[in-house]
Amino acid sequence: MVDPVPAATILLLRDNPTADADCEVFMVVRHHQIDFASGALVFPGGRIDDGDSEVTAHCDGAEGLDAFEIAMRVGAIREAFEESGVLLARPVGEQAMISAERCLELTPYRDQLNQGDLSLKSFLEQQNLQLACDVLTPFAHWITPDMMPKRFDTHFYVTRVPESQVAEHDGTESVDSVWISADDALAGAKDGRYTVIFPTRLNIELLADSGSTTNQVIDASATRDIVPVLPVTEKREDGTYICIPANAGYRVSEEKMERGA
């Protein structure tokens, strides 16, 4: 059995600019050559880097969190920057997030961080920035099943995109992106417009059930008990089922797997 690799995923939210309700989430389409969820519509995220544990001094909101949780939040912010260009950070000593203009100036560093040519610690020190770990709210926790060749222990977070910052896919790990409501994403998965894997679909459903505005979703997440989800399979007379804890808060706790899935 392969040990799961620590990972973090982030749900970047904004309120629909053309409607009074239905907040939207930023999602990317994985490159077809990526060896996990290739071609699928997913939330930005990825594995935790060693450097994510080395920047506690450059984090706002680290008080009261253990080293593992800080690394998860740092990884979520770093991955969001690398994959979407959104940077949840503040100039040292300031309360406001960096401006869209400043964020755009930092765009060239996305690839350097992703390729490991620049450490996150050096980046933050050079740019005089603090990561805004305090704006992340835990949303979910999923662990890849035992039988999979690649396994991840993934913590999901939800946050509001800083005003005026622009999210855009990186063109490398992800080849397309969209701001989309949970209902539209689910409809697209059902009619075949989007490829959405089981964990993503259930978390989109959870997003839909958490409220129609960004504030409602964040508030609901802040009060929800986060139950770790390790899917297991059960063979029954009528087929094989994938099962998750019934108390995890999702619409379903078991689902019959399609033949060949």
| pLDDT tens per residue across span 139-162 | 999 999 998 888 999 999 999 999
pLDDT tens readout for residues 226-257: 999 999 999 999 989 999 999 999 999 999 98
Q: Report which residue type is found at 196.
A: V
Two tokens at 144? 């890849």
198-228, pLDDT tens digit by residue? 999 999 999 999 999 999 999 999 999 999 9
Residue 216 makes CB contacts below 8 A (sequence gap 6+) with 23, 210
> In 53-152, which ranges are continuous DSSP H helix?
67-84, 100-105, 108-115, 120-127
CATH of domain 5-229: 3.90.79.10
pTM, rounded to two decimals: 0.91
Centroid of chain to Cα 144: 15
Q: In the structure encoding, which two tokens stand for residue 112, read together?
A: 């350097």
Distance CA 243, CA 231 (A): 5
